[in-house]
Amino acid sequence: MLAYIIRRLLVAVPTILLLIVACFFLMHFAPGGPFTSERPLPPAVLANIEARYGLDQPLWKQLWDYLYNIVVHFDFGPSFKFKDRDVNDIIAQGFPISLTYGSLSFLFATTIGVGLGIAAAIKHNSWIDYFAVGLGIAAQALPNFIMGPILILTFTLWLGWLPGGGWNGGQWPYLIMPVIALATSYVGSIARITRSSMLEVLNSNFIRTARAKGLPTRTVIWRHALKPTLLPVVSYLGPVFVYVLTGSVFVDIYFSTGGLGQAYVGSALSRDYAVLLGVTILYGALTVIVNLLTDLAYAWFDPKIRY
Amino acid sequence: MNKYIRTSLAGLLTSTMITGAAFAAGTHPTTGEALADDQTFTYRILDEHSSVDPQVVEDVSGAEIVRDLFEGLMNQDEDGNLVPGVATGFTTNDAKDVYTFTLRDNAKWSNGDPVTAGDFVFAWKRAVDPALSSPYAWYMELMSIENASEIIAGEKPVDDLAVKAIDDHTLEVKLSAPLSYFPQMTTHATTFPAPQKVIEEFGDAWTKPGNIVSNGAYVLTEHLPQERSVRERNEMYWDNDNTIIEKVVALVINDENVALTRYLAGELDRTEVPAGQFPRLQKEHPEEAISFPRLCNYYYTFNLSEGGPEAFKDPNVRQALSLAVDRKIITENIMAGGQPQAYTFAPEATAGFTVPDVEMASMSQAERDELAKELLAEAGYGADNPLSFEMVYNTSEAHKKVAVALSQMWKQKLGVNAELANMEWKVFLEERGNQNFDLARGAWCGDYNEASTFLDLLQSDSGYNDGKYNNAKVDELLASAKTADDAAPLYTEVERIIAQETPVIPIYHYAGVYMMDSDVGNWPVNNVEQNWYSKNLYKTAE
């Protein structure tokens, strides 16, 4: 097991390196640069700026310096757009915000989604099933960029219950709408996957055996059916977890939360190279770690899997 | 100003001077209106500001914050006129190439230190210093300060900049060429003073709340990137007694519709009105929906470079396309925010600019369409030989609506096939800058309130002339306007030539279209550059 983990982490290093190199070149080949603007800068001014950030160096040298600074100084470079902050500052400020509303959304979506899915499967073809399936489909059809405006109109403008945006250190009134907006569509998907998986498990031989020997339904569901049911759900949840943890650009835009999602998309649009790379590396590293955790979770859910 | 729409602004309507009014607590000293207990002004900004460092800031919302935090030599009043700032006045020689500013002796930094001429010298040298590499270094070149260009190019040391502190309260600037509007240019953020001691102590982190020391009416007290920035009254400011607004909060709200919803929910005092929504809002909130002219234009430019389309080399074709644009439909049905229709490149609102009698402006749309058909037929285009080209714009809902309308008008009236192509902003700038287009969208906001800020774009060697329009007469007129005592007739002449040759299709001029809480007093709707100062605002009691 330990050897497996170490092996996986060692493979992660070249993976992330490859990610950096690919991202670095794609970024530099995109038309326009960080200082392309409606008012083109005079050549002398542009030359000074490029010299300051080392952008006048050949690409391979820039890449080398970038990697060197990360490894030796843990410095992910400056922001070209926000002059008084560097990439470390931007991530340190945005990531905790994304992490907070992201993990709450994840908890919310998983709890409700799995609950709905199980209820629907147990009461197969009853009104509960239809209700849960209907709710799941409706939720899935409401991505966060639709939920955002709906929530703000309802709770801020009409009811006046919640502030329309901002973060304020993550106080709960500011958290409710971002969490619901981000979670809704996942609730639908999780419920659907849980339901079909549970139905399949409930029809399998070992459940029939458990029932035949007279175990009460509750024990059959919780002791025997739940774990195998969750296996496909877990493989879906892994990527979802990374996605919500790193924040959502729509949530950040609609609720002015100040998370990393907005910083990421904004950096791509403004060609803020170092910010874009820094956040990409963070996302890449998180993906590697969460994938590893997902794989380890398989072993717990399915005893047949051994590493 | 006759097209000027103002539906609200209680402050201005009631601003009658009450002479000898007691400065009673809770009433405005000049208008006598009852003031609100909570003097907090909250407004929306589209995007996080780039910086609050005066020499570094490069975006509009950042400059708005900097104008509150720092004070330059001169300020603008509600109408955009020049009024004293840190300087009480200035003198110039006959050649208009040496300016001497006298600084007030009671101006202080927020830490209590006096503001001296040396602070301006430090700041201005900083602005051109290649080590700081300010993106606005070019502004000091534009101001024609002696040696600025050479210092930026690294050919001379920074100390050669021709700005000198004669004593603590006298600042002398030498220019490389005469410039009559030099004092106007000192209202721009790049020229604001900078606190040397603080910058040397904290380095790049000097602009963070807690570190920052400023000389304006406000100090930065809180900054949560991508969320909000807060500035509060600077007790050390020389005119602090006349400042009414206590606290100014700028909220970053990227989506304009969300911003509008939050405004309607009472979270904001000011926000922009999304394109097309002004008529509805004006009906529902007549006191709050306001629109006034601004110093920006919206146009399409022809690619007139060597590699540009052959068809556009014929002025008849260009004029036909311009004539067939029904500007009324675009301003009234698409933008619908009180934008003036444009038949000239510089907006009518520009100071000292007389709009020439452009023939097109006085024609009816039916007459224009008729003439357009004739001109296009003359140029050899018709049903059997239709004109086709591509028009590019940067991705945005509003630009798309305008582009669709234009292409429809040309299709229906002239049988022209204009293919639409949208591009992401930076790609668009790159393509337009490299003349990889047939017809491209453009927009320009004046850097200062004078027609040359617009017309210089059409000078053949201007770096902003993406259409590569080249007319020796226009160049000559614009060059002589720089030193002319009265440049207005020259600008009018330039516009007349542009109207004939049509290197660009002016479509509309911008309007500031806001939802503004009716409690907010003294918003400078007449300042076409929208250089506003929170210290001049106030909030009345409900």
Taking only the tens place, the pLDDT of each residue in B266-310 is 999 999 999 889 999 999 999 999 999 999 999 999 999 999 999
CA distances from B453 to A125, B151, B188, B297 (A): 72, 24, 14, 11
CB B509 within 8 A of CB B342: yes
Residue of B nearest to A81 (CA): B50
Q: Do A42 and B138 touch (CB under 8 A)?
A: yes
User: Is B133 part of the contact surface with chain A (CB cutoff 8 Å)?
Assistant: yes
Q: What is the mean pLDDT of chain B?
A: 91
Q: Among A8-12, B170-174, B495-499, which is the least confidently predicted range?
A: A8-12
Q: Residue B349: which of B497, B215, B527 has the closest Cα?
A: B527
The position carrying tokens 């017809």 is B439
Q: Please tell me the distance in Å from A190's CA to the nearest CA on chain B.
A: 29
Which residues on B lie below 8 Å from A178 (Cβ)? none
Output phi, psi for A67, to 5 deg.
-65, -40
Q: Residue A220: which of A233, A202, A234 has the closest Cα?
A: A202
Residue ranges of alpha helices (H) inside B205-342 are 256-264, 278-284, 315-323, 327-329
Which residues on B lie below 8 Å from A264 (Cβ)? none
And the tokens for B116?
């001296």
The region that residue B478 occupies, defined by phi over 0 for left and psi between -120 and 50 for alpha, beta otherwise, is alpha
pLDDT above 50 (res B17): no
* ipTM rounded to 2 decimals: 0.86
pLDDT of residue B25: 55
pLDDT above 80 (res B15): no
Q: How sure is the predictor about B16, in pLDDT bands with cuts at 50, 70 and 90?
A: very low
Q: Do B50 and A38 touch (CB under 8 A)?
A: no
Burial class (CB in 10 A: 0-12, 13-18, 19+), B87: buried
Which residues on A lie below 8 Å from B444 (Cβ)? 38
CB A271 within 8 A of CB A34: yes
SS3 B461: coil
pLDDT of residue A227: 86
Residue ranges, chain A, pLDDT below 50: none
Q: Do B51 and A84 touch (CB under 8 A)?
A: yes
Q: Among A60-64, B17-21, B126-130, B537-541, which is the least confidently predicted range?
A: B17-21
> pLDDT by residue (tens digit) across B212-242?
999 999 999 999 988 999 999 999 999 999 9
Q: Do A258 and B262 touch (CB under 8 A)?
A: no
CB B213 within 8 A of CB B198: yes
pLDDT above 50 (res B19): no
Q: Do B430 and A32 touch (CB under 8 A)?
A: yes
Q: How many angstroms separate the CA atoms of A274 and A57, rounded?
A: 15
Output phi, psi for B22, to 5 deg.
-70, 140
Other beta carbons less than 10 A from residue B461's beta carbon: 7
Q: Please tell me the distance in Å from A39's CA to the nearest CA on chain B.
A: 7
Q: Residue A248: which of A268, A269, A262 has the closest Cα?
A: A262
Q: Residue A256: which of B62, B255, B516 has the closest Cα?
A: B255
pLDDT above 70 (res B7): no
List the single residue in B130, B208, B258 with the smallest CB-CB distance to A84: B208
pLDDT above 50 (res B350): yes
Pairs across A and B, CB distance < 8 A:
142
How much of chain B, in percent, has pLDDT values that exceed 90?
77
Q: How sure is the predictor about B493, in pLDDT bands with cuts at 50, 70 and 90?
A: very high
Q: How many angstroms separate the CA atoms of A88 and A79, rounded?
A: 9
Q: Which DSSP string do the residues of B470-519 spell out, in sequence order?
A: --HHHHHHHHHHTT-S--HHHHHHHHHHHHHH-SEEEEEEEEEEEEE-TT
pLDDT of residue A39: 81
Which residues on A lie below 8 Å from B443 (Cβ)? 38
List the single residue in A157, A166, A167 with the smallest CB-CB distance to B261: A157
Q: How many angstroms separate the CA atoms of B542 and B349, rounded?
A: 33
How much of chain B, in percent, has pLDDT values that exceed 70?
95
> pLDDT by residue (tens digit) across B504-521?
999 999 999 999 999 999
